[in-house]
Amino acid sequence: MFAAICAACAVVMARRGSEAALKVFSAENDSETASGAVAEIQRPSSTQLFLWFALAAVPSTLLLATTNQVCADIASVPFLWVLPLSLYLLSFILCFDSDRWYNRQIFGISLGLFAAGSCFLLWDAALNWHSIRWIAVQAAVFFGMLFCSCMVCHGELVRLKPDPKYLTVFYLSISAGGALGGLFVGMVAPVVFDTLIELHIGIVAGCLLLLAVIYRDESSPLYRGRTPAAWATMIIGVVVLGWTLNAHANRVTLNSISVARNFYGSLRVEGFRESFILKHGQIRHGHQFRDAEKRKHPTSYYGYESGCGLTLKQHLPGKPKRVGLIGLGAGTLAIYSRPGDYYRIYEINPTVVDMAREFFTYLTDAEGQLETVIADGRIALEREEPQRFDVLVLDAFSGDAVPTHLLTKECGELYMKHLNEDGILAVHITNRHVNLMPVCNGLAKEFGLAAVSATSMKNSDMGTSEAQWVLLSRSGESLKKIDFGQTATSSLGESSILWTDHFSNLLSVMAN
């Protein structure tokens, strides 16, 4: 109905002709003044149309690109995608409300500072410095860059607003630019680029657009190259920023032997003299030694001394086991399977499965029966009959993101449905930004489960990293039978948080 009414309005307006339409646009002006001014109104030039379009496209691009960047490395939860969306919309409200909200000098300088800060954070992660671990600071820098860029672009759009006669094409250009930014990030970039480079493009494009509008603004002291020293400083700054971001993009794929990207993000396999590593963003999802004698060693977070490794080795010794794995990674956990075992692996990203099979041998070296289900683990389990798992491993991460929908009360009920009475639920909670121990404790108390936290240390010779697992079971005896040896164990403490499908709070579990 909306589309039909809009079409009818368009037909009516077209029949009235340009003179009638002009009267509508000029209704607030005196008729004589309006008729005398019409002849002097110039049509928007192609340069103006391009600027309107570009100044709308860049903020839209940065909104999605920044959200993707932050959610890939932290968590895909409402807190982290509602905030940038709110900042984007707020910049529209402020800039189109009044000229007093936008000051070119203040927001231009702020954009440069936040762009430099974002560049530093990207390099900080790429070089594994992690000098800024506080999530609030990281989010503030990326979102500050987004807001300043939006204020600059939308503020300049308002300054370039045309005579009312051409407001229709003005707002149409803004709408088209915003749509193109979304299409670029959502559809074009995943096909054209192997990494999340659209963030880099958006940052540099925002800075270049600011220089372009300053150059064309007759009221600016920098109009058409005035004040050469200032122009030299700005141009050098943008060139350095662009070069640094381009170097970062090249650094990310420096050792990559395969890079692929789809809806779920960018994956790559890095090849080194001693090993292959699977990465999603900057987060390792498994690696394997090249050496024939060591390639069957479980590495990364899944070593023999990890909570999960000890569980798979010692639970129900000598008996065939049914094991469920939510999250494949490089397929490391499959190496624990023995003849007679059945491992059912749930993996949402088909590219992960392809890379695990092509570049790693854990799946082919597995001695038990393996079956891979390409689907979201929770959705697949909801559709299946009880699987009677002896061990169910929850190891689903996107980058370093927290799988909140896999840690809720409702999902806990699903796990209990598919676990045997003496079965063990192993939850991987290693994370730089959040502490999931209270969430696991909430599930333990809700379902009356015995629980223990197991933390294993890094061992470079074995290729393992520090890893923290939480083991949960309806049978306390199942956990007592596991010999943890040198692996540090502890209770889950008193802090308890129960997430549900209707409520989860990332702020309550921030680690720092």
> 3-class DSSP state for residue 452?
strand
Kindly list the distances between the CA atom of residue 464 and the CA atoms of 287, 292, 330, in Å, as whole numbers in the listed order. Answer: 9, 17, 14
Model pLDDT, residue 496: 94
User: pLDDT exceeding 70 applies to what percent of the chain?
Assistant: 93
Prediction pTM value? 0.83
Model pLDDT, residue 281: 77
Q: Identify the band that residue 135 occupies on the pLDDT scale cut at 50, 70 and 90.
A: confident
Q: Mean pLDDT across the stretch 216-232?
A: 93
Same fold, 43-252 and 266-509: no
If you search the block for the tokens 């003849």, which residue do you land on?
A: 339
Q: Identify the band that residue 131 occupies on the pLDDT scale cut at 50, 70 and 90.
A: confident
Q: Mean pLDDT across the stretch 475-499?
A: 94
Q: How far apart are CA 204 and CA 503, in angstroms?
A: 38
Q: How far apart are CA 491 and CA 482, in angstroms?
A: 15
Contact 151, 94 (CB under 8 A): yes
pLDDT at 493 over 60: yes
Kindly list the distances between the CA atom of residue 468 and the CA atoms of 244, 279, 432, 448, 490, in Å, as whole numbers in the listed order. Answer: 35, 19, 11, 22, 11
Q: How far apart are CA 143 and CA 87, in angstroms?
A: 8
Q: How far apart are CA 492 and CA 161, in angstroms?
A: 59
Q: Mean pLDDT across the stretch 293-304?
A: 94
pLDDT at 33 over 90: no
Model pLDDT, residue 189: 92
Give tens-digit pLDDT for 51-97.
Answer: 999 999 999 999 999 998 887 766 666 667 889 999 999 999 999 99
Q: How far apart are CA 35 and CA 22, in angstroms?
A: 9
Residue type, 38: V
Q: For the residues of 99-168, what is the DSSP string, one character each?
A: GGG--HHHHHHHHHHHHHHHHHHHHHHHTT------HHHHHHHHHHHHHHHHHHHHHHHHHT---GGGHH
Q: Identify the band that residue 227 occupies on the pLDDT scale cut at 50, 70 and 90.
A: very high
Model pLDDT, residue 510: 75
Model pLDDT, residue 431: 84
Give bridge partners of residue 470 from the DSSP assignment. 427, 453
If you search the block for the tokens 């393996």, which residue do you land on?
A: 370
Contact 345, 325 (CB under 8 A): yes
CB neighbour burial string for 9-32, b if at least 16 within 10 angstroms, e if fewer: eeeeeeeeeeeeebeebbeeeeee
Give the domain 266-509 fold: Rossmann fold (3.40.50)
**Structural domain boundaries in the chain:** 43-252, 266-509
If you search the block for the tokens 């372009």, which residue do you land on?
A: 212
pLDDT at 399 over 70: no
Q: What is the CATH number of domain 43-252?
A: 1.20.1250
pLDDT at 508 over 90: no
Q: Which has more pLDDT, 252 or 372?
A: 372
H or E element in which residue 200 lies: helix 198-216
Q: Which has more pLDDT, 17 or 217?
A: 217
Q: What secondary structure letter does DSSP report for 227?
A: S
